[in-house]
Amino acid sequence: MKLAARVNEVSPSLTLVITAKAKAMKAKGIDVCSFSAGEPDFPTPQHICEAAQRAIDDGKTRYGAVTGELKLREAIAKRLQTKNKLSYSPDNIIVTNGGKHSLYGLIQALIEAGDEVIIPAPYWVSYPEMVKLAGGTPILIETSAANNYRITTEQLREAITDKTKLLVLNSPSNPTGTVYPPAEIRAIADIVVEQDILVVSDEIYENILYDDAEHLSIGAVNPEIFARTITSNGFAKSYSMTGWRVGYAAGPLEIIQAMAKIQGHSTSNICSFAQYGAIAALENSQDCVQEMLNAFAERREFIYQAINGIPALSCPKPDGAFYVFVDISKTGLKSLEFCNSLLDSYQVATIPGIAFGADNCIRISYATSLDTIKQGIERLSNFVNSLT
Ligand code: GLU
**What are the pLDDT digits (tens) for 106-143?**
999 999 999 999 999 999 999 999 999 999 999 999 99
Residue 54 lies in a domain: no
CATH number of the domain bearing residue 381: 3.90.1150.10
Alpha-carbon span 380 to 388, nearest angstrom? 13
- Are 201 and 270 in the same domain? yes
What is the distance in A from the centroid of ligand 1 to the CA of 122?
Answer: 14
Distance CA 135, CA 152 (A): 27
Inside any domain, residue 320: yes
Do 118 and 223 reside in the same domain of the chain? yes
- pLDDT score of 242: 97
Residues 115 and 172 in one domain: yes
50-66 pLDDT per residue, tens: 999 999 999 999 999 99
On whether both 92 and 186 belong to a single domain, the answer is yes
Task: Note the pLDDT tens digit of each residue in 347-384.
Answer: 999 999 999 999 999 999 999 999 999 999 999 999 99
**Global pTM?**
0.96
Q: Which of 10, 14, 16 should be mutated for ligand 1, with most atoms under 8 A from CB?
A: 16
Q: Is residue 206 domain-shared with residue 114, that is, in the same domain?
A: yes
Q: Measured between alpha carbons, how far is 131 from 138 in angstroms, rounded to an integer?
A: 6
Cα Rg of the chain (Å, integer)? 20
Q: Work out which ligand 1 atom sits closest to the CA atom of 13.
A: 9
Query: Which atom of ligand 1 is least distant from the CA of 100?
Result: 8
* Boundary of a domain, candidates 268, 283, 298: 283
| Average pLDDT value for residue range 11-17 | 90
**Nearest 10 degrees: Cα torsion 124, 145, 306, 202:** -30
Same structural domain, 174 and 225? yes
Q: What is the pLDDT of residues 231-251, one digit of tens each?
A: 999 999 999 999 999 999 999
- Sign of the four-CA dihedral 138, 144, 150, 156: negative
Q: Is the pLDDT of residue 263 over 80?
A: yes
Please give the average per-residue pLDDT across 148-168, as a whole number. 98
Q: Which atom of ligand 1 is nearest to the CA of 38?
A: 10
pLDDT at 193: 98
Q: Whose CA is nearest to atom 1 of ligand 1?
A: 38
In a domain, 57, yes or no: no
Q: What spacing in Å lies between the alpha carbon of 193 and ligand 1's midpoint? A: 30
Q: Which atom of ligand 1 is nearest to the CA of 36?
A: 10
**Statement to judge: residues 253 and 315 lie in one domain:** no
Question: Which residue, of 229, 251, 283, is where some domain finishes?
Answer: 283
Tell me whether residue 56 is in a domain: no
232 and 161 fall within a common domain: yes
Average confidence (pLDDT) over 315-320: 98
Residues 315, 376 share a domain: yes
Query: Can you tell me the mean pLDDT for 219-238?
Result: 98
CA distances, 350 to each of 201, 304, 383 (Å): 26, 15, 13
CATH at residue 242:
3.40.640.10
Q: Please give all residues whose beta carbon lies within 6 A of any atom in ligand 1, as ranges.
A: 13, 15-16, 37-38, 100, 124-125, 174
Note whether 291 and 321 are same-domain residues.
Answer: yes
* Mean pLDDT over the full length of the chain: 97
Please tell me the residue having the least CA distance from ligand 1 atom 7.
15
Boundaries of domain holding 291: 5-44+287-386
Mean pLDDT over 218-238 rounds to: 98
Question: Does 388 score more than 80 pLDDT?
Answer: no
Distance 14 CA to ligand 1 centre (A): 9
Name the helix (H) or strand (E) containing 290.
helix 287-308
Structural domain contains residue 50: no
Query: Do residues 188 and 118 make contact, with C-beta atoms less than 8 angstroms apart?
Result: no
Q: What's the structural domain count of the chain? A: 2
Share of the chain above pLDDT 70, in %: 100
